Amino acid sequence: MAALGVAGAGIVVGHWLAYAIGTPHAPARDELLRSTGHGYLPYATQVALLAGAVGLVGLFLTRLSRRGTRGSFAGDVARLTAVQSGAFVAMEVGERLLSGASLHDLTLGPLLAIGLGVQLVLAVAGALTLRLTERAAEVAELLGQPGFPFAPSLVAATTLAPAVMPMRPALLAARSRAPPSLP
């Protein structure tokens, strides 16, 4: 699941980067994006980046609880490259067909090659991000072990908190669930 979120983020970020590299002049790039059916891209970017972040949090929590399987870096790069590159090509063709733009510039211009190269680079970065997220969960779990030197376990920290900051009975009694009354 995390890999799908990372792939989605890579697809849309790669889309932007491919157009930025292929058409560095901003007004010309904006016109090209508009004429080739990319009006949805800002919204898709927000959704994909959110999906990527949620996927990484999910991966961290899954690995922290020692559930799930660990894939290989090379396998992640291969899967992310295949998904991202396939989706990039499909999106470009679909955008042009829906907007009535020609496929001619896509097949003869540098955009397709640039986009596929960018997707490969982002797939490597995505696979690295997945590995680093798994490592962070492993470190967090190690730090939470009762026997780990110089690092209190989460259980010890939660049991010490009431002793360090005792609640006064008067404060507990003063709490109310009702909204405050108006004068």
pLDDT > 70? residue 135: yes
Q: Which two tokens stand for residue 90?
A: 């499909």
Give every CB contact of residue 29 below 8 A, 6+ residues apart in sequence. Answer: 19, 20, 23
The verdict on residue 37 lying in a domain is: yes
The structural domain count of the chain equals 1
The verdict on residue 36 lying in a domain is: yes
CA angle 105, 13, 34 (to 5 degrees): 45
**Predicted confidence (pLDDT) per residue in 102-120, tens digit:** 888 787 889 999 999 999 9
The verdict on residue 131 lying in a domain is: yes
Q: What mean pLDDT comes out for the span 38-44?
A: 88
The verdict on residue 168 lying in a domain is: no
The verdict on residue 176 lying in a domain is: no
C-alpha span between 76 and 94 (Å, rounded): 26
The verdict on residue 156 lying in a domain is: no
Are 99 and 36 spatial neighbours (Cβ–Cβ below 8 Å)?
A: yes
Report pLDDT for 174.
53
Residue 107: give the domain boundaries: 2-150
Report pLDDT for 181.
64
**Predicted confidence (pLDDT) per residue in 80-99, tens digit:** 999 999 999 999 999 989 98
Give the global pTM.
0.73
The verdict on residue 101 lying in a domain is: yes
User: Running DSSP on this structure, what letter comes out for residue 1?
Assistant: -
Are 126 and 6 spatial neighbours (Cβ–Cβ below 8 Å)?
A: yes
The verdict on residue 160 lying in a domain is: no
Report pLDDT for 176.
54
C-alpha span between 53 and 96 (Å, rounded): 29
C-alpha span between 66 and 134 (Å, rounded): 10
